[in-house]
């Protein structure tokens, strides 16, 4: 059990280190990043209660409708709403939110905090857990949560630094992670062979799209020239 616990933590640590190292020009306070991770883990509790409640309204029509509801409403909408709330109250008025990339790094830490709790519960579960589950989630699920955070933080920062379009980018910061998250879950749950073939392609798309967003905000850092 202890070994499985450590294995579940490993991809979280790797992705957190990756995003922290990516912050090239003006590092964020470690304490505040840890606070983001902690609150991301804490919200897993109310998220669990809300998801359990929403499951009561699961459509009884067909597997497709059930997969869609579980993916987009129960999981994606619930989890991303809570992450968005934490992100807003954690950094919107924070003096440390002083460059676009900060939106990304804090959103990712919050996402990884939630993913940490979720990953541990999956991996140590006696029915569905184990080494194979840990391996699959390390490759797909944990990075996916990280890149949902990248998407949220990318638009959240645009809302901060492009005030005339604040409302639009706030909506994007809320909406696009739900869409990406919902699609990720739906592909896994719908149990349609030709759709499953797209899963690896979609996972690669998340990596490429996420890295592109990271690079855009890094290139627009006001501290870029000061550090060279």
Task: Identify the band that residue 43 occupies on the pLDDT scale cut at 50, 70 and 90.
Answer: very high
Q: Torsion over CA of 181, 125, 204 and 78, rounded to 10 degrees?
A: 10
Q: Residue 1: which residues within 8 A CB-CB, separation 6 or more?
A: 124
Q: Does 124 map to a domain?
A: yes
Residue 185 lies in a domain: yes
pLDDT in tens, 50-105: 999 999 999 887 788 999 999 999 999 999 999 999 999 999 999 999 999 999 99
- Note the Cα 2 to chain centre separation in Å: 25
Q: What angle is formed at CA 210 by the lines to CA 114 and CA 107, rounded to 5 degrees?
A: 35
More confident call, 140 vs 49: 49
Residue 227 lies in a domain: no
Asked, for residue 228, whether it belongs to a domain, the answer is no
Is 228 a residue whose pLDDT tops 70? no
Q: What CA–CA distance (Å, rounded) separates 95 from 91?
A: 8
Range of the domain at 132: 2-22+29-219
Scored b (16 or more CB within 10 A) or e, 97-135 reads bebbbbbbbbbbbbbbbbbbbbbbebbbeeeebeeebbe
Number of domains in the chain: 1
Instruction: Name the token pair of 179.
Output: 């869409």
> In which region does residue 125 sit, left (phi positive, over 0), alpha (psi from -120 to 50) or beta (all else)?
beta
Provide mean pLDDT across the span 21-49. Answer: 96
Query: Is residue 1 scored above 70 in pLDDT?
Result: no
The length of the chain, given as a count of residues: 228
pLDDT band at 4 (very low <50, low <70, confident <90, very high): confident
| Residue 227 pLDDT level (bands cut at 50, 70, 90) | low
How do residues 103-127 score in pLDDT, each as one tens digit?
999 999 999 999 999 998 888 887 7
Q: Which of 200, 196, 176 is nearest to 187 (CA)?
A: 196
CA 218 to chain centre: 19
Q: Are 149 and 104 in contact (CB under 8 A)?
A: yes
In a domain, 226, yes or no: no
């Amino acid at each position: 059990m202890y070994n499985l616990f450590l294995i579940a933590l490993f991809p979280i640590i790797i992705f957190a280190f990756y995003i922290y190292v990516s912050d090239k020009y003006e590092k964020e306070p470690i304490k505040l990043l840890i606070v983001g991770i902690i609150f991301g883990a804490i919200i897993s509790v109310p998220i669990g209660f809300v998801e359990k409640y929403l499951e009561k309204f699961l459509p009884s029509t067909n597997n497709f409708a059930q997969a869609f509801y579980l993916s987009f409403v129960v999981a994606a909408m619930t989890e991303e709403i809570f992450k968005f709330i934490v992100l807003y109250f954690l950094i919107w008025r924070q003096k440390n939110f002083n460059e676009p990339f900060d939106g990304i790094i804090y959103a990712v830490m919050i996402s990884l905090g939630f993913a940490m709790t979720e990953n541990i519960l999956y991996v140590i579960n006696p029915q569905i857990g184990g080494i194979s589950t840990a391996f699959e989630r390390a490759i797909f699920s944990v990075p996916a949560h990280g890149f949902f955070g990248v998407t949220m933080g990318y638009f959240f920062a645009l809302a901060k630094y492009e005030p005339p379009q604040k409302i639009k980018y706030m909506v994007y910061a809320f909406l696009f992670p739900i869409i990406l998250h919902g699609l990720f879950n739906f592909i896994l749950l719908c149990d349609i062979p030709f759709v499953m073939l797209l899963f690896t392609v979609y996972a690669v798309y998340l990596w490429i799209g996420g890295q592109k967003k990271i690079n855009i905000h890094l290139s627009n850092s006001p501290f870029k020239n000061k550090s060279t």
